[in-house]
Amino acid sequence: MAGKQDYQVKMTKTVAALESEYGTIRAGRANPAILDKVRVDYYGTPTPINQIAAVSVTEARNLTIQPWDITQLRAIEKAIYASDLGVNPQNDGKIIRIAFPPLTEERRKELVKTVRKYGEDAKVAIRSIRRDAIESLKEQKKGGELTEDDLKDAEKKVQDATDRFCKEIDGIAAKKEKEIMEI
Mark whether 90 and 44 lie in a shared domain. yes
Are 94 and 119 in the same domain? Answer: no
- Give CA–CA dist 56/59, Å, rounded: 9
Query: Taking the mean position of all CA atoms in its chain, how far away is CA 150?
Result: 36
pLDDT band at 129 (very low <50, low <70, confident <90, very high): very high
Write out the residue range of the structural domain in which residue 118 sits: 4-23+104-181
Residue 149 belongs to domain with CATH number: 1.10.132.20
Residue 98 has pLDDT above 50, yes or no: yes
Residues 120 and 176 both lie in one domain: yes
CATH value at residue 57: 3.30.1360.40
Is pLDDT above 50 for 42? yes
Mean pLDDT, residues 121-132: 95
Report the Cα 49 to chain-centroid distance in Å. 17
Q: For residues 65 and 9, state if they share a domain.
A: no
Number of domains in the chain: 2
Which pLDDT score is estimated for 118? 94
pLDDT of residue 26: 67
Domain boundary at 99, 117, 150, which? Answer: 99
What is the identity of the amino acid at 99?
A
CA 91 to chain centre: 28
Domain boundary among 99, 131, 151: 99
Q: Are residues 130 and 166 in the same domain?
A: yes
DSSP reduced 3-state for 60:
coil
State whether 122 and 172 are in the same domain. Answer: yes
Which residue among 81, 99, 117 closes a domain?
Answer: 99
pLDDT value of residue 171: 94
Residue 64 pLDDT: 92
Do 109 and 177 lie in a common domain?
Answer: yes
Distance separating alpha carbons of residues 155 and 130, to the nearest angstrom: 9
C-alpha–C-alpha distance, residues 91 and 9, integer Å = 44
> Same domain, yes or no, for 38 and 91?
yes
Q: Which segment of 27-31, 55-59, 76-80, 121-125 scores lowest on mean pLDDT?
A: 27-31
Q: Are residues 91 and 116 in the same domain?
A: no
76/166 same-domain check = no
Q: Check whether residue 53 and residue 18 sit in a common domain.
A: no
